[in-house]
Amino acid sequence: MNEFWDTDARIQKANSVFNTDVDTSSDFSSVSRIFREFEHKLTKELHIWWEIASLEKYVTSQMIPRGLCIKKFPSYMHRDEVFMISWNKILSDCSFRLMELMIEHKTKVHRDVKIELKMIEKDIEQYKTQTRFDNIYESIKNNIKKLESDIMESKKKKYNRDSLDYMKDQVYNWASNRRDNKREYNSQRSILKNTSTPKKVSFSSVDRDSLDGSLAGSSPISSQSNRSEKAKDVFVGEQHFLKKSHTGAGQWTQKNANRELWKRQPEELSREQDDKNRYVLRKKNPKKY
């Protein structure tokens, strides 16, 4: 039973592990470095190839991946079928042009990576006689095989998902965007807007001279001066950033106004807090008449 703790046998094993006679002909560190670089380039080449293949398949199928689908909608969101089709076609054309550009770029990168791989393969040839060469090579081959299997599964899931979007006509999904747009509009309603005036919608490209003059004149935000006055009513106390900026010497600029506002802010906040405290005390201890 003493074979399990035979000290002499262990000493012999230790001597074989910590052998001072280094075989200089087998530079194992160089082998490891080259194989790491080889695996890195193989991984990169594999990813790029599948990205190109995927993009080409989408283009030939006239489909756009979700990640490249441009979901930009007009703010007024009128549900005009003819307009929606034309709008979506322009967005799709833009996405397809981007995909073609990506294919062109990735093809060039893929070509460069393949050239680098061939150069590394030549360097690896000289280490074929190494004892661990076959083990490392097989390990890399298995890793690349598993990686490709994972990539294929992921690409298949995404392609099926995107195909379903086209089958259900949910590529751009205007209805969902209308709900989101309405929620955002309601949550960010301007406090300066006069709600009594009827809502008007116009394209940004419409000439200003063609607008109704009476509407422009009656608008509560038709000029910068009106906006400044309303802002003063909201932010009590005249502030320099509400004045017009000047660039002449000794005149207020936006930078000077911000600097002055920053200096005055702590003092004004302190004074505002004192006023609130006095108000609270007056409420707790009302005067008796």
Tens of pLDDT along 222-244? 343 443 343 333 223 343 334 44
More confident residue, 156 or 17: 156
Give the whole-angstrom CA distance, residue 241 versus residue 258. Answer: 7
Residue 275: what pLDDT? 58
More confident residue, 247 or 81: 81
Average pLDDT, the chain: 70
Residue 103: what pLDDT? 96
Percent of the chain predicted with pLDDT > 70: 53
Residue 183: what pLDDT? 54
Q: Is the dihedral of CA 80, 86, 91, 96 positive or negative?
A: positive
| pLDDT (tens digit per residue) in 64-74 | 999 999 988 88
More confident residue, 54 or 259: 54
pLDDT at 52 over 80: yes
Give me the mean pLDDT over the 251-255 stretch: 49
